[in-house]
Amino acid sequence: MNEERVVLLDPEGHAIGSAAKLSAHHADTPYHLAFSSYIVNAAGQVLITRRAAGKKTFPGVLTNSCCGHPAPGEGLEEAVVRRVRTELGITLREVTVILPRFSYRAVADDGTVEHELCPVVRATASGDDFSLNADEVSMAAWLSWDECRKLVGHSDSSPWFRLQMEQLECLGDPSRWPEAPESSLPPALTRQSARPLEHPLTG
């Protein structure tokens, strides 16, 4: 089995190498590329998840729909589709970049650090059904946007979710969030225009 790797970045978001994902996350985690997704259904609800208790970083926290790391040479849309299918068994119709340069550093209770340049995307689901990968996700539920906003005050919500919501709340209804221009993405990423995903990856 090929070991999953993350893309390492300089402060401006250029790729400078890669590292094994598991061994790269520690008390001095290097700056690396990631993404956060907010999956929206036809009713305008957002899928909120709880990370599995066995996750190395921030186990058991409530958070947005799905997070992941683009592999070296992998596009953002491709990475989102792959990871959403792996964790949630969901087929996506569209992926749209909303916060292209979101970046954060957070320290977990055990001292493990996340340090990511993490574009935030809205992903449109083809339906409401999901199938959880128990190694990754322990719970998922479709919530209204008002319910999502209330989760910010929960002590067990993830730090990146709270920071992202500071920027997303002012954008209003998730189905109407404005798309960010392609030119605003980090240099380490290239992006295809948001479009129907006719052949989604199976992970």
CATH number for 168: 3.90.79.10
Higher pLDDT, 172 or 203: 172
| Catalytic entry in 67, 87, 118, 136 | 67
67 a catalytic residue: yes
Domain-embedded: residue 22: no
Q: Is residue 21 part of a domain?
A: no
What is the pairing mode between strands 35-40 and 66-68?
A: antiparallel
Q: Considering the domain boundaries, does residue 197 fall inside one?
A: no
Question: Please, which residues have CB within 8 angstroms of residue 96's CB and are 6 or more apart in sequence?
Answer: 121, 122, 123, 124, 177, 179, 194
Domain that holds residue 73: 5-11+27-177
Whether the CA torsion 148, 153, 158, 159 is positive or negative: it is: positive
Query: What confidence tier does 196 reach under pLDDT thresholds 50, 70, 90?
Result: very low
CB-CB contact of 32 with 69 (8 Å): yes
Query: Exposure of 51 by Cβ count < 10 A (0-12 exposed, 13-18 middle, 19+ buried)?
Result: buried
Q: Is the separation of the CB atoms in 111 and 29 below 8 Å? A: no
198 is catalytic: no
Query: Is residue 78 assigned to a domain?
Result: yes
Picking from 151, 161, 152, 159, the residue whose alpha carbon sits closest to that of residue 37 is 161
One of 77, 87, 114, 116 is an active-site residue; which one? Answer: 116
Confidence of residue 2 (pLDDT cuts 50, 70, 90): low
Q: Encode pLDDT of 12-64 as tens digits.
A: 999 999 999 999 999 999 999 999 999 999 999 999 999 999 999 999 999 99
pLDDT for residue 202 is more than 60: no
User: Is residue 198 pLDDT above 90, yes or no?
Assistant: no
Domain count, the chain: 1
pLDDT value for 190: 59
| Amino acid present at 149 | R
84 falls within a domain: yes
| Span 63-85, average pLDDT | 97
Write out the DSSP string of 18-65. EEEHHHH-STTPPPEE-EEEEEE-TTS-EEEEEE-TT-SSSTT-EE-S
User: What's the pLDDT at 199?
Assistant: 37
Per the CB < 8 A criterion, the answer to whether 160 and 114 are in contact is yes
